[in-house]
Amino acid sequence: MRRALRQAWELDNAEKLLRNLARRRGREAPGVSASLLEGIDEILTVTRLRLPTELRRSLACTNIIENMNGTIRRICRNVKRWRDAAMALRWTGAAMIEAANGFRRLKAHKQLPSLRAALLADQAPRRWHRP
């Protein structure tokens, strides 16, 4: 399964490959299959934008998100009584700022202008479309 997911990020027909994988795994692991189908658009975003390989690898990894979530959990566990939603947002924001201090530079940071250009190009056709 891991090999199939890695191949999907590199191929143009990735959606077809992932849907076939989900269908095959549906009998053995229905939860995995459902999760894969649910997140197929997000999985393929970096492929659809045709980003450089190094940047694609960096953005496809969830380590940054997991690191931030761990920092938020660690800092917010100090609160014993949550008064309201605003308090939760303040503590979460403070924890995110703390997590940002620990972030290292993105390996492909020099390719970020190509990400910006790809996002702008991807949004341009949809900018005038109203749902």
For the stretch 48-93, pLDDT in tens is 888 888 888 777 777 778 888 999 999 999 899 999 999 999 999 9
Alpha-helical (H) ranges within the chain are 2-10, 14-25, 30-38, 40-48, 53-60, 63-76, 85-101, 112-123
Q: What's the domain range around 16?
A: 1-48
- Written as six digits, the tokens of 64 are 């940054």
User: Is position 26 within any domain?
Assistant: yes
Q: Is the pLDDT of residue 1 over 80?
A: no
Number of structural domains in the chain: 1
- Written as six digits, the tokens of 115 are 């990400």
User: Is position 6 within any domain?
Assistant: yes
Work out the mean pLDDT of the chain and round it to a whole number.
82
Q: How confident is the model at residue 11 (pLDDT cuts 50, 70, 90)?
A: low
Are 71 and 102 spatial neighbours (Cβ–Cβ below 8 Å)?
yes
Q: Is the pLDDT of residue 130 over 90?
A: no
Written as one letter, the residue type at 35 is S
pTM over 0.85: no
User: Is position 42 within any domain?
Assistant: yes
User: Is position 118 within any domain?
Assistant: no
User: Is position 70 within any domain?
Assistant: no
**Widest CA span of the chain, in angstroms?**
50
